[in-house]
Amino acid sequence: MSDYNSIEVKPLAGAMGAEVGGVDLSKPLANEQLADIHRAYLDYLMIYFRDQDISPETQVRLARHFGKPAVYPFLQGLDGFPEVNALIRSPEDNKAFGGSWHSDTAYKERPDLGTLLYAVDVPEVGGDTLFTNTYRAYDTLSDGMRQMIDGLVGVFNSDKPYQGGRAAQIGKLGEMGKAVVESETFEACHPIVRTHPETGRKALYISRTHTLRFKDMTVEESNPLIEYLSDHSVRPEFQCRLRWRAGTLAVWDNRCTQHFALNDTAGHRRHMHRVSIEGDRPV
């Protein structure tokens, strides 16, 4: 991997992920720092910064270095910052928001390019996030499987895992339920093998959480292949695991990763701020 001139980069795992040091995100960043951070983001797919003091305003400003901040359709943002969602798990909650393998907002016509997640308050242990490298998921398929799926189109649906609709289920999550916004069901068609617009690499783009079926196929016909490819995408050797501490900011690329919020913080409060970045139509 290339050297970085203005930041320190420490890989987290063999598959993906890196800690970036030597930078204070609360202050304006020099052009060289921004260029190195963006390069690390493309190189490692998920990067994170420790011991940062980041306000909602600063988080939105940082997001703009990657693209236009997006507004999540199912949650009201913070006062004055509609792009910032407070993801709060109360001690009484028995479910974790984002507790299944997925790429954010894959059900939109233009899914979010990336996500910035900041830890405001987290338990001493638990609440880690798993990430998986979907470049490697595609690259390790057999030649025959790649040939079969290269032209396959998936139908992605926002309500697939949510009985009664996504907004209704989020509304049951303690403090987060107060911020729920009623919204339509989103459904979009995307290639399940997408080409990253910046790196030119192919990545597998499919999950149990959002992929309802394949275009021109029934759910029953689609399920066996969706199940296989979803399992393959999250093999342990493709993964890294981020342990959160208060003051940690993670930035990941939704075009070539999936993530999973572990559900192991019952009895403890977990408070995160999330900003997503508008993306392009997958090709």
pLDDT tens figures, 223-264: 999 999 999 999 999 999 999 999 999 999 999 999 999 999
pLDDT tens by residue, 64-81: 999 999 999 989 999 999
Q: What is the pLDDT of residue 164?
A: 53
Q: What is the mean pLDDT of residues 124-142?
A: 97
The pair of structure tokens assigned to 76 is 């009201």
Percent over 90 (pLDDT), the chain = 82
Overall number of domains in the chain? 1
Is residue 45 a contact partner of residue 258, using CB atoms and an 8 Å limit? no
What would the DSSP string read from start to end of 256-277? SEEEEE----TTS-EEEEEEEE
The answer to whether residue 104 sits within a structural domain is: yes
Residue whose C-alpha is closest to residue 258's, from 193, 207, 214: 207
Q: How confident is the model at residue 1 (pLDDT cuts 50, 70, 90)?
A: very low
Beta-bridged to residue 251, according to DSSP, are 47, 116
Q: What is the pLDDT of residue 77?
A: 94
The answer to whether residue 121 sits within a structural domain is: yes
**Domain of 205?**
8-277
pTM confidence score? 0.93
The answer to whether residue 241 sits within a structural domain is: yes
Residue whose C-alpha is closest to residue 7's, from 56, 66, 63, 50: 50
pLDDT of residue 173 exceeding 70, the answer is no
Q: What is the mean pLDDT of residues 3-21?
A: 96
The answer to whether residue 66 sits within a structural domain is: yes
E-strand stretches of the chain: 8-11, 18-21, 46-49, 69-70, 85-89, 114-121, 129-133, 153-157, 187-191, 193-195, 202-204, 211-214, 239-242, 249-253, 257-261, 270-277
pLDDT tens by residue, 82-112: 999 999 988 887 777 778 999 999 999 999 9
The answer to whether residue 162 sits within a structural domain is: yes
Q: How confident is the model at residue 160 (pLDDT cuts 50, 70, 90)?
A: confident
Q: How confident is the model at residue 166 (pLDDT cuts 50, 70, 90)?
A: low
Is residue 271 a contact partner of residue 85, using CB atoms and an 8 Å limit? no
CATH number (domain holding residue 24): 3.60.130.10
Residue whose C-alpha is closest to residue 260's, from 281, 242, 272, 247: 242
Separation CA 131–CA 252 (nearest Å): 9
Q: What is the pLDDT of residue 182?
A: 76
The answer to whether residue 267 sits within a structural domain is: yes
The answer to whether residue 1 sits within a structural domain is: no
The pair of structure tokens assigned to 93 is 């909650």
The answer to whether residue 216 sits within a structural domain is: yes
